[in-house]
């Protein structure tokens, strides 16, 4: 079972952290230290990234040229992808074989990612809403797949543009400035060699893709407390206990002295001890009759 706070699968691997008490079966996370009861479904958060092959086309110049679709000799396809369940220890990645790369064939490697999409509750990526998800949808449709089950998305590029004013919102820049950078720069000509079916280049691309996912996951966890529109993780648990909407932690500090004010009401503010996100309680701190009086 994954920890509902940090998503770690450490509880599954180390049985000594699992124990019984008077309240029934409880779990202890070996990563963040949270103790919790099995109160419902743990949402599955999937971070993924894809690498696509370049187009091959006729062109009559090198600067600001429009390429007619009829001049495309070889269309793009999926060279490889990497994905992991957020905060878990396992990495999943596939890359085209040399034979498949030469034939522009990605039919084998896209099936496992479709299975993971079909299992996930939330899909996360950097520029994933505009690029990665749409690209995968097209390749699945081209190979006659049905749509995966409904899921929510978190695009860290959109989030960074919304809440931060960084000089650049590129993944490598953000992770470098935030001290999360471990990215391996891909060398010039790597994708060309991959498309030609060179095995060493394909292995290098796979490693580069995996590092991209690790960096992106770190950025997601860093920006998550800042997000105002993050999917409410508390909805996935069958409990009346108050939870942080961003990380599902039950360790909340409620500020009873400084309420949060809206245009027509006031609420108590809470701060999540685990991730630092803020929110408000659903109940108003102003009496209903008094609120009507104030709004006259």
Distance of alpha carbon 138 from alpha carbon 50, whole angstroms = 13
Q: What is the pTM of this model?
A: 0.84
Residues 44-82: tens digit of each pLDDT: 999 999 999 999 999 999 898 899 999 999 999 999 999
Residues 192-231: tens digit of each pLDDT: 999 999 999 999 999 999 999 999 999 999 999 999 999 9
- What are the structural domain ranges in the chain? 1-38, 45-225, 251-296
**Structural fold of domain 45-225:** Nucleotidyltransferase; domain 5 (3.30.420)
What percentage of the chain has pLDDT greater than the value 90? 62
């Amino acid at each position: 079972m994954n920890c509902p706070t940090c998503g770690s699968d450490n509880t599954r691997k180390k049985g000594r952290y699992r124990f019984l008490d008077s309240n029934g079966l409880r779990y202890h996370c070996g990563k963040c230290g949270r103790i919790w009861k099995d109160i419902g479904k743990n949402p599955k958060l999937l971070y993924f990234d894809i690498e696509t092959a370049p187009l091959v086309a006729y062109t009559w110049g090198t600067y600001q040229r429009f390429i007619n679709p009829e001049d495309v000799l070889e269309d793009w396809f999926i060279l490889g992808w990497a994905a992991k369940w957020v905060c878990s220890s396992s990495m999943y990645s596939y890359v085209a074989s040399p034979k498949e790369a030469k034939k522009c064939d990605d039919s084998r490697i896209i099936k496992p990612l479709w299975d993971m999409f079909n299992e996930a509750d939330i899909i996360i990526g950097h520029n994933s809403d505009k690029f990665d998800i749409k690209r995968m949808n097209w390749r699945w449709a081209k190979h006659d797949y049905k749509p995966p089950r409904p899921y929510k998305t978190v695009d860290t590029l959109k989030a960074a543009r919304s809440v931060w004013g960084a000089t650049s919102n590129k993944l490598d820049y953000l992770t470098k400035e935030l001290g999360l950078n471990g990215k391996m720069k891909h060398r010039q000509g790597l994708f060309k060699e991959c498309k030609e079916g060179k095995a060493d280049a394909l292995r290098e691309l796979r490693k580069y893709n995996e590092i991209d996912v690790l960096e992106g996951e770190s950025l997601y966890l860093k920006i998550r407390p800042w997000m105002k529109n993050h999917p409410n993780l508390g909805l996935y648990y069958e409990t009346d206990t108050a939870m942080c909407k961003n990380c599902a932690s039950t360790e909340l500090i409620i500020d009873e002295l400084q309420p949060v004010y809206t245009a027509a009401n006031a609420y108590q503010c809470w701060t999540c001890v685990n991730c630092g996100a803020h929110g408000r309680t659903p109940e108003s701190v102003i009496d209903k009759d008094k609120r009507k009086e104030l709004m006259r």
